[in-house]
Amino acid sequence: HRFDANVAKCTEVAKLNVMQARSDDALVTLRQQRRRFDFIYIDASHVAIDVLHDAVMSWQMLDQGGLLVFDDYSWRGFIEDCYNPRTAVRAFIKCARPEVECIETESQLWVKRVPNCIPATPNPDPALYYWDKGTAKHVL
Kindly report, residue by residue over 22-34, the tens digit of the pLDDT.
999 999 999 999 9
SS (H, E, C) 26-65: HHHHHHHCCCCEEEEEECCCCCHHHHHHHHHHHHCCEEEE
Is the pLDDT at 135 greater than 60, yes or no? no
Pick the closest to residue 53 from 15, 25, 94, 18 (CA basis): 25
**DSSP conformational letter for 106:** S
% the chain with pLDDT above 90: 58
Kindly report, residue by residue over 9-22, the tens digit of the pLDDT.
888 888 887 788 89
pTM (2 decimals)?
0.79
The pLDDT confidence band at residue 1, using thresholds 50, 70 and 90, is low
What is d(CA 84, CA 71) in angstroms, rounded to the nearest whole number? 12
